[in-house]
Structure 1
Amino acid sequence: MKKKKNDIFINLIGNVTPIKKNNKLERNIPVINKTISFQKRTKNKLSFSELKKQPTPNISNFEIEINKTNKKLKKGKIPIDKKIDFHGLSLFDAERLFTHTISICYKKNLRCILFITGKGVLKKTANDWDESKLYYGKIRSNFLIWTKKKELSKFILNVEQASIKYGADGAFFVYLRRQKY
């Protein structure tokens, strides 16, 4: 590229000399204490299968069946007849609502019910940082125990964790047995 006589920028830069390497300023870089170690906090997420294995009081003779309905429920092929949300309820109120809903839906011949329990919240106090457990809500952890009670298990055919579309870890499908006339 040829220099143009009328180019102001090149005329101004033409007299500039580059900075020499020995003219640089030296800064003191603070030394970081490398003896501090950080522990990676791992979360032990409770899986649905682990919740099913927990011991329950008053176990009935009725078995919760595992069959093709589980797959259909997960894929959303079975229409949901009723949705119940437990957010904002106490454990006692949620259990009463659960038992009442199961018995009423069985009588009305509504078979597929979606119960939204919520995932629960991690405790954020200073004392709990050492624990690596993920704190799920009380309602969610007691839900499967409620389904195995004697007075309700005769109505329940199937219990399945909801798919991502319906609430994933924080929701359950309960599929009721057909009413015998």
Structure 2
Amino acid sequence: MSAEDLALWESVAAQVAPLDNWDIAVPEPELPAPAAGVGTPKQKPAARRKPPPAATKPKPPPPPPSRSLTIDRRTLQGLRRGRTPIDARLDLHGHRQASAYAALAAFLQGAARSGRRFVLVITGKGAPPGAGGRDEDGDLPIPERRGVLRSAVPHWLREPALADLVVGVAAAGPLHGGSGALYIQLRRKGPGSRPGKAGSPS
């Protein structure tokens, strides 16, 4: 520094007075507001409401009881003792299920149209266990074939195609084949009536 500069500095410094209070509040710089979603605490997602419990599915009503196909006791005794005549009979020996059903339906419809009251349907008892013999195809024992018809015929008689023809059903007495045959009491149909069309065995 030259002598002139030093003299100038001293003259300026002599004119400066010291400050009494050094506690000067310096304003803090304003910071820009943070952008949405940046630096802000995450909010907890709203709790999912549980869906209301599903309505309980109502249980289907029980099926209506099947119509009881019975022959009154006095009439049944007359049939089993031979006092009440059998108006017609059908023997299902040798039939398969499909042909047995068709024969049964045609027989009952014809008997009802003719005014028959009591008919006999022979299903066969089935041979005792261990009995030999096979059907014509050689694949099914004969006792099984006969046993199927014995249990199937009462079921068929309750199906819509035949039920409107039948009043009662009962196992035959020893005079007419015992448990291998059925007495069927028919509802009489007039000659001009049109019986329902029979379907297939279920």
TM class by shorter chain equals 0.5 to 0.7
CA distance in 2, matches of 1:110, 1:177: 8
- Among all aligned residue pairs of Structure 1 and Structure 2, give the percentage whose two residues are the same amino acid: 27
Q: Which amino acid aligns with 2:93?
A: H
Task: For 1:149-168, list aligned pairs within 5 A.
Answer: 149-168=159-178
Name the CA shift for 1:59/1:147 in 2 (closer, same or farther; >3 Å).
farther
Q: 1:169 aligns with which of 176, 179, 185?
A: 179
Deviations 1:125-175 (A, max 9, x none): 8xxxxxxxx966110011110111112111111111111011001111111
Count of residue pairs brought into register by the alignment: 116
Q: 1:120 aligns with which of 116, 122, 126?
A: 126
1:88 correspondence with 2:94: yes
> Computing the radius of gyration over CA atoms, which structure comes out larger, 1 or 2?
2
Which structure carries more helix by proportion? Answer: 1
For CA contacts below 8 A with separation 6 or more, give which structure has more relative contact order.
Answer: 1
Name the CA shift for 1:60/1:76 in 2 (closer, same or farther; >3 Å).
farther
CA distance in 2, matches of 1:64, 1:163: 17
CA distance in 2, matches of 1:93, 1:110: 23
Runs ≥4 residues deviating over 4 A: 58-62
Name the CA shift for 1:59/1:71 in 2 (closer, same or farther; >3 Å).
farther
SS at match of 1:137: helix
RMSD over aligned Cα, in angstroms? 2.7
Conserved 8 A contact 2:89-2:121: yes
Name the CA shift for 1:60/1:95 in 2 (closer, same or farther; >3 Å).
farther
Q: 1:142 aligns with which of 152, 161, 168?
A: 152
Stretches of structure 2 that go unaligned for 5 or more consecutive residues are 1-62, 132-142, 194-202
User: 1:110: which partner in 2?
Assistant: 116
Conserved 8 A contact 2:115-2:188: yes
Tell me the TM-score normalized by structure 1.
Answer: 0.56
Stretches of structure 1 that go unaligned for 5 or more consecutive residues are 1-57, 126-133
Deviates more, 1:95-104 or 1:135-144: 135-144
CA distance in 1, matches of 2:82, 2:64: 29
